[in-house]
Amino acid sequence: MTRILFSVDGDAPLDAQLSRLAGLAPLPPFSAQARAFVADFARRVFALPVLREHPELATLAHWFRPAAQEHLSRRLQAPANEHLLARGLVFHLAPANVDVLFAYAWLMSVLAGNRNVARLSQKPSAQREALVSILHAMQAEGLHGEVLQRSVLLTYPHDDAVTTLLSRHCHARIIWGGDATVAKIRSLPLAPLALELAFPDRFGVAAIDAAAVAAAEDVELQQLAHRFINDVLWFGQQACSSPRTLYWVGTADTVQAARARFWPAVRAQSGQVADEPAALMARVTDAHLMAALAPGVHANGALGSYPLTLDADRADGRLRELQSGHGLVVDVRLDSLAELAPQLDDRDQTLVQHGFSREALVALLDRLGNRALDRIVPFGRALDFHPVWDGTDLLDVLTRKITLPGN
Amino acid sequence: MAPTAPQASAALDVDVFGLDRQAKREWLLHGLQSLTRHHHAHCAPYAAMLDALWQGGAADSLEALPWLPVRLFKQLDLKSVPDDQVLRTLVSSGTTGAAVSRIFLDAETARAQTRALTRIFSHFAGNRRMRMLVVDDDSFLRDRSRFNARAAGILGFSNFGRDHLYLLDEQLQPDWDALAQWLSRAPEEPVLLFGFTFIVWQSFVQAARRDGVELRFPAGSMLVHGGGWKKMDEQKVDNAAYKAALSAAFGIERVHNYYGMVEQVGSIFFECEHGHLHAPAYADVIIRDLQDLAPVENGTIGAIQVLSLLPGSYPGHSLLTEDLGVIHGEDDCPCGRPGKHFGVLGRIRNVEVRGCSDTRTVPTA
């Protein structure tokens, strides 16, 4: 049963919604109307009562404040012999667990001038309700009509007929979800001229220069631990960029000294991100599963620790896919950052790093030889959004380039 | 040299509620340590887990014994006997599509389970076989492909009765006429009733109210029920209200809940006359802190770890469950039975729902 969460004509059936959308011309990229809408949207997110429990909403609002929009618009400077238009109708399929992630692509698409239809998860969440309620409030106040009439948010149980209908009308389909979801939706036909972007399951890893930790001032160590906690523990460690493995680079002695400083600092602060008994059960189960299936993994402390850490001689995607998140980190020592390359595969998306030079990082990238790594960020930035995601600039998909007669 | 297999039957060499604190600790610790060594020698994944996470598994107290998270039996096939010695594979009655536990029994373990259950049951109910009313349907008897934990539970308990009547049809609707007729054949003789907690509530207590049925069971009749309280919690019915309803609806005054799981069939924890669950001599419970898994004081709520001397064919002798419980005391229950007495308070929120009585409900028209 399809349920319209937001539309200026909420009672109309889906066919009528699509006909209505088809009759509306896209707005120019970064139009004044779209900028005003997004700025107002961000302002209203900041005022949400649920902001305290969901700091990721504040991050979203901050990301779309006017100054940031301006910065984003500068990514779209077309050369003189090209002109940019919105893509058209963009069909978004939001992930089941993190509705907020989808909101970045959706708001960028609004800025790009598109008409947007978004399928949100069936599971009601405080974030979902908050985002939808803002649109209703704007409509009730008679604001942002140009943008609102180009926006439809809906939800429906997995239904190939509905997905196919929307896919036939769109100019771009953006899928956020697990590998199975992506595979399923990819099997449904898309309009011949439409583009598709899929964001499937990915993993995050972290690398740290042990010498930098061993030499850090106490204050610096506390900050580093705090950032690591944010990277690992938010979203139950289930975001695709949440690090699952921490690679220590240095000699055995240095790494031992660094670990002895780092983990107590992390555990002293980990209570800041609430743990749950169900998460505890999940990670001790995962730890046993990994011990049974992956030789070389062993506990380095109590199973009741939060986060729970396991030592391993090496850790690749096969080990990471046994982890379901919930605060479990595998600790691996490497002699050099270059040794990380053979332990990464296509599924590894984000490298969170501390203490390495740009040259060392680029040298690592040059050694990869596979599809691994789409972003390298400092500690504390694992969950940040970037207009380039999984290697594609979203604005390239959300707009199209028309070449002009040159000279 | 590999340690010799401990005889599961040896677990039954003591009186079911005959050991005090010190004697029981020594007896259990010795038996569980030898089970740990046995499974380490005969179950490679278990050995890998102990070596990686438990320093090989050596322990000098019950609290230090290694445990496995119970969910692991859904993810791994864990057995300590060759395939050709597996007599029966038990599966949990998970909801459709959910992963189910697989528990591998050899003849020795299966026999020990049956004997243990008999000891516990007859301690509470006596040795005489009573006429037995099963508050469930008997379709599993005809269709062995549906032989799951629920069917195993019914079969296990049905040994304790005679002249059985299965009250429900496949839609879990009672046949009141058949029941009245069955009761009329021996109107004075106490009846043993068995069923899963929620099915008894829905298809017996509530169905009688719905159908306007007024039946009195003979004095001394006794209901034994288990399988989990989750659905009862949803209906805000606690143990006291449950018992009161059975007394009011049918005049059944003896109601015993039990706590058990497919991963440790046989060593169930039976509820005494004072409403406390009791650990028999060959089993025990430890309550662990919900943040760091350390054992907690009596009276503190935590996750239930269950210990049992029975599992010889699979490494299930020490399991961390996802159930919440609290130990009321040890050797000091007003009923006089030695050992720990405790209560189960439901399941840790947000983990997959499992348990026998919660998996099937009456289809709504």
CATH number of the domain residue A164 falls in: 3.40.605.10
- Is the pLDDT reported for residue A261 higher than 90? yes
What confidence score (pLDDT) does residue B361 get? 34
**Three-state secondary structure call for residue A88:** coil
Please tell me whether residues A146 and A234 are part of one structural domain. no
State the pairing for strand pair B191-196/A375-378: unpaired
User: What is the Cα–Cα distance from A224 to A378, expressed in whole angstroms?
Assistant: 10
* Region B307-331 average pLDDT: 96
Bigger pLDDT: B294 or B95? Answer: B294
pLDDT confidence tier of residue B350, bands split at 50, 70 and 90: low
- Among A178-192, A327-341, B260-274, which range has the highest average pLDDT? A327-341
Q: In the structure encoding, which two tokens stand for residue A221, read together?
A: 């160590």
Task: Write out chain B in H/E/C secondary structure.
Answer: CCCCCCCHHHHHCCCCCCCCHHHHHHHHHHHHHHHHHHHHHHCHHHHHHHHHHCHHHCCCCHHHCCCEECCHHHHCCCCCCCHHHCCEEEECCCCCCCCCCEEEECHHHHHHHHHHHHHHHHHHHCCCCEEEEECCCCHHHHCHHHCCHHHHHHHHHHCCEEEEEECECCCCCECHHHHHHHHHCCCCCCEEEEEEHHHHHHHHHHHHHHHCCCCCCCCCCEEEEECCCHHHHHCCCCHHHHHHHHHHHHCCCEEEEEECCHHHCCCCEEECCCCCEECCCCEEEEEECCCCCCECCCCCCEEEEEEECCCCCCCCCEEEEEEEEEEEEECCCCCCCCCEEEEEEEECCCCCCCCCCCCCCCCCC
Do A158 and A305 fall into the same domain?
no
State the pTM of this model.
0.90
Q: Does A180 touch chain B (CB under 8 A)?
A: no
Query: Could you tell me if A187 and A216 lie in one domain?
Result: no
Q: Say yes or no to pLDDT of B222 above 70.
A: yes
Please state, in angstroms and rounded to a whole number, the distance separating the CA atoms of residues B153 and A334.
52
Whole-angstrom distance, CA of residue A58 vs CA of residue A146: 25
Question: In the prediction, which pLDDT does B150 show?
Answer: 79
A115 and A163, same domain (yes or no): yes
Residues of B with CB under 8 A from a CB of A: 45-46, 48-49, 51-54, 68-69, 71-72, 75-76, 289-294, 303, 320, 322, 348-351
Average pLDDT over residues B245-264: 95
A95, part of any domain: yes
CB-closest option in B75, B292, B351 to A278 = B351
Number of domains in chain A: 2
Closest CA to A348 of A363, A370, A331, A328: A370
Decide the pairing of beta strands A392-393 and A399-403. Answer: unpaired
Mean pLDDT of A143-160: 95
Side-chain half-sphere exposure of A375, counting CA atoms within 13 A: 26
Residue A311: closest C-alpha in chain B: B52
What's residue B145's pLDDT? 57
pLDDT tens digits for A74-100? 988 878 899 999 999 999 999 876 668
Q: What is the pLDDT of residues A325-349, one digit of tens each?
A: 999 999 999 999 999 999 999 999 9
Residue A282 included in any domain:
yes
Counting residues of chain B whose pLDDT is more than 70, the rounded percentage is 90
Neighbours of A192 (CB within 10 A): 6
| CATH number, domain containing residue A365 | 3.40.309.10
d(CA A364, CA A360): 6
Q: Tally A–B CB contacts below 8 A.
A: 74
| pLDDT of res. A80 | 85
Q: B19 vs B175, which has greater pLDDT?
A: B175
Task: Please identify which residue in the block is written with the tokens 């209906």.
Answer: B235
Inside any domain, residue A383: no
pLDDT of B147:
60
pLDDT of residue B139: 82
Q: Both A244 and A177 in a single domain? A: no
The answer, for A304 touching chain B at a CB cutoff of 8 Å, is yes
- A314 inside domain: yes
Contact B52 A302 (CB under 8 A): no
Q: Are residues A346 and A247 part of one domain? A: yes
**Cβ neighbours for B109, distance < 8 A, ≥ 6 positions apart:** B8, B310, B311, B312, B313, B314
Asked if the Cβ–Cβ distance from A281 to B69 is below 8 Å, we say yes
β-strands A348-354, A203-209 pairing: parallel
Q: Is residue A385 part of a domain?
A: no
Arithmetic mean of pLDDT over chain B: 89
- Summary mean pLDDT of chain A: 94
Residues of B in contact with A273 (CB under 8 A): none
User: CA neighbours within 13 Å on the CB side: how many for A50?
Assistant: 13
Structure tokens of B233?
């919690």
Q: Which residues 251-290 in chain A show a CB within 8 A of chain B?
A: 275-278, 280-282, 284-285, 287-289
The bridge status of strand B88-91 relative to strand B68-69 is unpaired
Residue B151's identity, in one-letter code, is A
3-state secondary structure of A83: strand
Confidence of residue A54 (pLDDT cuts 50, 70, 90): confident
- Looking at the complex, report in whole angstroms how far the Cα of residue A311 sits from the nearest Cα belonging to chain B: 9
CB contact under 8 A, B292 and A282: no
Q: Are A298 and A279 in contact (CB under 8 A)?
A: no
Lookup: tokens for B327: 């130990």
Q: Is residue B44's pLDDT more than 90?
A: yes
Residue A96's pLDDT is 76
With both helix axes pointing from N to C terminus, report the angle between A32-46 and A126-140 in degrees, rounded to the nearest 10. 130
Instruction: List, in order, residues 6 or more apart from B297 with CB less than 8 Å away.
Output: none
ipTM over 0.95: no
In this structure, are A207 and A326 located in the same domain?
A: yes
Average pLDDT score over residue span B97-111: 89
Q: Which of B46, B53, B72 sits opposite A298 (nearest CB)?
A: B53
Of the partner residues A277, A297, A310, the one whose CB lies closest to the CB of residue B303: A277
Asked if B33 contacts B65 with a C-beta cutoff of 8 angstroms, the reply is yes
Q: Structure tokens of A107?
A: 């708001």
Q: Say whether A304 and B72 touch across the interface (CB within 8 A).
A: no
Q: Give pLDDT, residue B95.
A: 56
Residue A384 lies in a domain: no
The b/e string for B293-317 (b: 16+ C-beta within 10 A; e otherwise) is bebbeeeeebbbbbbbbbbbbbbbb
Q: What amino acid occupies position A176?
A: W
pLDDT of residue A172: 98
Cα–Cα distance, A139 to A6 (Å, whole number) = 10
Total residue count of chain A as it appears in this document: 407
- Residue with structure tokens 């609707």? B173
pLDDT digits (tens, 9 = 90+) for A353-393: 999 999 999 999 999 999 999 999 999 999 999 999 999 99
A64 and A182 co-located in one domain = yes
Q: Which of A225, A320, A235, A224 minimizes the C-alpha distance to A276?
A: A235
The boundaries of the domain holding residue A343 are 203-378
Q: At a CB cut-off of 8 Å and minimum separation 6, what does A128 contact?
A: A5, A99, A120, A121
Count of residues in chain B: 365
Sorting pLDDT into bands at 50, 70 and 90, what band is A270? very high
Least reliable range by pLDDT among A55-69, B70-84, B223-237? B223-237
Rounded to an integer, what distance in angstroms lies between the CA atom of residue A90 and that of residue A150?
10
Give the confidence band of B168 by pLDDT, cuts at 50, 70, 90. Answer: very high
- What is the reported pLDDT for B365? 30
Whether residue A217 is found in the same domain as residue A194: no
Q: What is the DSSP letter of A28?
A: P
* Whether the predicted pLDDT of B3 surpasses 50: no
Give start and end residues of each alpha helix (H) in A175-271: 179-186, 210-214, 218-233, 252-269
Q: What confidence tens digit (pLDDT) does each residue in B290-307 have?
A: 999 999 999 999 999 999
**Nearest Cα to Cα of residue B232 among B221, B222, B220, B246:** B246
Q: Between B53, B303, B348, which is nearest A287 by CB?
A: B53
- pLDDT mean over A4-10: 94
**Residue from the list A280, A281, A297 with its beta carbon closest to the beta carbon of B52:** A297
| Statement to judge: residues A347 and A228 lie in one domain | yes
Domain co-membership, A171 together with A58: yes
Q: What is the pLDDT of residue A177?
A: 85
Given a cut of 90, whether residue A53 has pLDDT beyond it is no
And the tokens for B121? 């049951």
Residue A225: pLDDT band with limits 50, 70, 90 = very high
The share of chain A scoring above pLDDT 70, in percent, equals 99
Beta-carbon contacts of residue A301 (< 8 Å; ≥ 6 apart): A263, A309
pLDDT above 80 (res B356): no
pLDDT of residue B363 exceeding 50, the answer is: no
Q: Is A302 on the interface with B (CB under 8 A)?
A: yes
CA dist., res. A200 & res. A183, Å (int): 9
Q: Spell out which residues of chain B touch residue A284, defining contact as CB-CB under 8 Å.
A: 69, 293, 320
- Determine the 3-state secondary structure of A358 from DSSP: helix
Give which of A395, A396, A310, A383 is closest to A352, Cα–Cα. A383
Does A14 map to a domain? yes
Cross-chain Cβ contact A291/B68 below 8 Å: no
A174 in the same domain as A315 = no
- Whether B350 sits inside 8 A of A276 (CB atoms) is yes
CA angle A200, A354, A331 (to 5 degrees): 70
Residues of chain B neighbouring A310 (CB-CB closer than 8 A)? 52
Is the pLDDT score of B359 beyond 70? no
Rg, Å, chain B Cα set:
20
Which of B40, B67, B78, B291 best probes binding to A when mutated, by most A CB atoms within 10 angstroms? B291
**Is there a domain that residue A244 lies in?**
yes
